[in-house]
Chains A and B, each alone.
Chain A
Amino acid sequence: MLTYVARRLMVNVGVFLLISVGVFLLVRAAPGDPVRMMVNPEQLAAGGPDFIARKRAELGLDDPVVVRYVVWLRDALTGDLGYSFVSHRPVSAVLGERIGPTVLLMGTALLLGLLVAVPAGTLAAVRRNSAADYASAVVSLAVISVPSFFLGIAAIYVFSLTLGWFPSSGMTTPGGGGTDVLAHLVLPAAILALSIAGPFMRYVRGGLIAELGADYIRTAEAKGAGPPRVLLRHALRNALIPLITVIMIYVPQLLAGAVALEQVFAWPGMGQLAISSIGQLDYPVVIGFALFIAVLVLLCNLAADVLYAVADPRISLQ
């Protein structure tokens, strides 16, 4: 098991290095001269004609690209992603305080999405070609087709402005009670959940229909197992294994959906930060965000490989 994880990890480290090269080159391609942006006119005047050149050498900007990449990567790996152009605080601190709300939003949405998709997909598979099956197909297609930011705006109109059930923006209200965050979470999490429940449901349905036709299902029936047992113990158990991969593939999509919804609901997460940083040309924060996404996706891939090996005994751990 450990060697299996270690091998998968090696692959992911390789991919991460490739991504880091890409990100580093993007930094270099960004417009503007960091030294000119750093120094103020008085320093420039006092420093003499070769001040810029000396400063460049001092900062290591004259070193070969490879040396600069290694130094940058070393800093990045130790958590030093530089400073925000806008707030002048360390990028790691700026990102750090935004991770929590985004993970809360994504995690809740993923959980809710699965809680809807697995039972609905199972029902659609068992009663395939029934009214319930067609209805769920229409609903899932609808939530796949309608962009979540639109659903968000519609939900704010209906549930916040008209009905007044849930707050429309932010994560907390000053002086709010214990369920304050929960109340703020309901709308964005539910809409994000819907956007993934649609495709997940179709995967569960398709997988389950395939498994229900398998020979081992007939064996279970021939043993005298009843329909609930055949469905849950045998078919669903097998049908859910591929869903692990599907979920991990959808994590970046979930994050993209979160970015859009955080804008709509003013949710103080990474997505909101990324959008505003891009607008303000705050490159260090944007780069930090890009690296964060890369690491997140790679970790999800690793998690998928490991979970798959745990869930499916046929996957060799050697």
Chain B
Amino acid sequence: MDEPLLTIEDLAVQFPTEDGLVKAVDGVFLDVRPGEVVGVVGESGSGKSVTAMSVLGLVRRPGRITRGRIRFRGRNLLDLSPRALRAVRGGEIAMVFQDPMTALNPVVPVGRQIAEAVRLHGKGLSRGAVRDRVIELLASVGVPNPATRYRQFPHEYSGGMRQRAMIAMAMANEPALLIADEPTTALDVTIQAQVLDLLRSARERTGAAAILITHDLGVIAELADRVAVMYAGRVVEQGDVHAVFDAPRHPYTRGLMASRPRIESSPGALVPIPGSPPSMLAPPPGCPFHPRCPIAADREPCRISRPGLTAVGAGHATACHFHEELA
């Protein structure tokens, strides 16, 4: 098996708020191997985005990484100088954000924003060379009339086109790792499939690995090789997509699978997970899922100790005291 490209070890991120300390991420472990797509799923507030932001050091103040290591190509990204980190950002690791409507600077032509990404990592390129590269990038993500589109402003692009431009920007320096944070959530359903296709082909063309953050299990099933399920700031189950989806070994993953709408199911047959995600200000003691868990049944280990990830198969791990009962 390949050496991991990215290894997140015991990452913890905290946000001080007026009401107290929010532990948005509290002990995340995650590996990404070269060329592989890791899907990260979880409800809002489970720490998916904060984990992704941490990789590039983009956690905004007053948020703070309090613990852990993020190893990438032999370096701990958390130890890098600001200058060295900037070389990684947009160079070796690039990011696509959730809302393309707000992720582009409204007063700078789209082409120039992509050119900025090219120029920041390709010093010494001539103006013409940068421009040619940007037009080539725009064409590669399926933006029609790239030479005209180069000069246009974000408001002249549709949502789907903007996300294409964001992907072109991310792919500008052929990153080894692409992080896509809910890249299709803000888009029309008809556009979502196109953008996913595009992400897939862009990734395949450059051989980049990817972290794909989403709450859409269908997207994961379609694009990811492996999946990490997050709950309350930790990964609660991870493994090969087929292994996890075919035989989930964590009650939360089971709940997620069961709550998915399906074409064949009759109306009203959605099965929601009871309760709501825990407050990250005061997470429940023990396993954070136990108040909503169908198998915890108020058993003592669930109330008292937080389970760690345990291997339950080849590359498949779960954080549940009673995972055997789910086998």
Q: Chain A contacts of B50 at CB under 8 A?
A: none
Contact between chains at A238 and B105 (CB < 8 Å): yes
The smallest C-beta distance from B35 to any residue of chain A, in angstroms, reads 21
Q: Chain B contacts of A234 at CB under 8 A?
A: 105, 108
Within the complex, which residue of A213, A223, A313, A314 is in contact with B90, where a contact is CB–CB below 8 Å? A223
Within the complex, which residue of A215, A225, A311 is in contact with B99, where a contact is CB–CB below 8 Å? A215
B89 at interface by CB-CB < 8 Å:
yes
Interface residues in A, total, Cβ within 8 A: 22
In Å, the complex CA distance between A314 and B157 comes to 12
Contact between chains at B117 and A216 (CB < 8 Å): no
Contact between chains at B97 and A218 (CB < 8 Å): yes
Q: Beta-carbon contacts of A202-227 to B below 8 Å, as 1s and 0s?
A: 00000000000111101111111110
The smallest C-beta distance from A291 to any residue of chain B, in angstroms, reads 37
In Å, the complex CA distance between A114 and B84 comes to 36
Q: Chain B contacts of A219 at CB under 8 A?
A: 97, 103-105, 113, 166, 169
In Å, the complex CA distance between A60 and B88 comes to 82
Q: Beta-carbon contacts of B37-80 to A below 8 Å, as 1s and 0s?
A: 00000000000000000001010100000000000000000000
Most buried by B among A219, A225, A234: A219
Q: Chain B contacts of A214 at CB under 8 A?
A: 102
Contact between chains at A224 and B89 (CB < 8 Å): yes
Q: Chain A contacts of B120 at CB under 8 A?
A: 223-225
Contact between chains at A241 and B107 (CB < 8 Å): yes
B121 at interface by CB-CB < 8 Å:
yes
In Å, the complex CA distance between A22 and B102 comes to 46
Given contacts A223-B117, A223-B169, contact A216 B86 (CB under 8 A): no
In Å, the complex CA distance between A234 and B155 comes to 16
Q: Chain B contacts of A225 at CB under 8 A?
A: 86, 116, 120
Contact between chains at B117 and A224 (CB < 8 Å): yes
Contact between chains at B153 and A224 (CB < 8 Å): no
Contact between chains at B90 and A312 (CB < 8 Å): no
B94 at interface by CB-CB < 8 Å:
yes
Contact between chains at B169 and A314 (CB < 8 Å): no
A36 at interface by CB-CB < 8 Å:
no
Q: Chain A contacts of B121 at CB under 8 A?
A: 224
Contact residues, B229-267 vs A (CB, 8 A): none
Q: Beta-carbon contacts of A221-245 to B below 8 Å, as 1s and 0s?
A: 1111110000001100110010000
Closest chain B residue to A219, Cβ basis: B103
The smallest C-beta distance from A218 to any residue of chain B, in angstroms, reads 6
Q: Chain A contacts of B95 at CB under 8 A?
A: 222
Contact between chains at A222 and B106 (CB < 8 Å): no
Contact between chains at B89 and A221 (CB < 8 Å): yes
Q: Chain A contacts of B108 at CB under 8 A?
A: 233-234, 237
Within the complex, which residue of B83, B89, B107 is in contact with A223, where a contact is CB–CB below 8 Å? B89
Most buried by A among B83, B95, B105, B155: B105
Interface residues in B, total, Cβ within 8 A: 31
In Å, the complex CA distance between A222 and B175 comes to 12
In Å, the complex CA distance between A92 and B90 comes to 63
Given contacts A222-B95, A224-B87, A226-B86, contact A313 B106 (CB under 8 A): yes
In Å, the complex CA distance between A201 and B113 comes to 28
Contact between chains at A216 and B58 (CB < 8 Å): no
Q: Chain B contacts of A213 at CB under 8 A?
A: 60
Contact between chains at A215 and B107 (CB < 8 Å): no
Within the complex, which residue of B91, B94, B105 is in contact with A216, where a contact is CB–CB below 8 Å? B105
Contact residues, A260-318 vs B (CB, 8 A): 311-314
The smallest C-beta distance from B16 to any residue of chain A, in angstroms, reads 14
The smallest C-beta distance from A167 to any residue of chain B, in angstroms, reads 44
Most buried by B among A220, A223, A226: A223
Q: Chain B contacts of A314 at CB under 8 A?
A: 106-107, 153, 155
Closest chain B residue to A240, Cβ basis: B107
Closest chain A residue to B106, Cβ basis: A314
Contact between chains at A313 and B155 (CB < 8 Å): yes
Given contacts A214-B102, A215-B99, A238-B106, contact A221 B155 (CB under 8 A): no
Closest chain A residue to B105, Cβ basis: A216
Q: Chain A contacts of B99 at CB under 8 A?
A: 215
Contact between chains at A312 and B116 (CB < 8 Å): no
Given contacts A224-B89, A224-B120, contact A237 B103 (CB under 8 A): no
Q: Chain B contacts of A241 at CB under 8 A?
A: 107
In Å, the complex CA distance between A238 and B107 comes to 7
Give me 18 A-to-B residue pairs in the complex whose CB atoms sit less than 8 angstroms apart, sorted by A's number: A216-B105, A216-B106, A218-B97, A219-B97, A219-B105, A219-B169, A220-B105, A220-B116, A221-B56, A222-B56, A224-B91, A224-B117, A226-B82, A226-B83, A233-B116, A234-B105, A313-B155, A314-B153
Beyond A216-B106, A219-B113, 15 extra complex contacts between A and B, CB < 8 Å: A218-B97, A219-B103, A221-B56, A222-B58, A222-B94, A224-B87, A224-B88, A224-B90, A224-B91, A233-B116, A234-B105, A238-B105, A238-B107, A313-B106, A314-B153
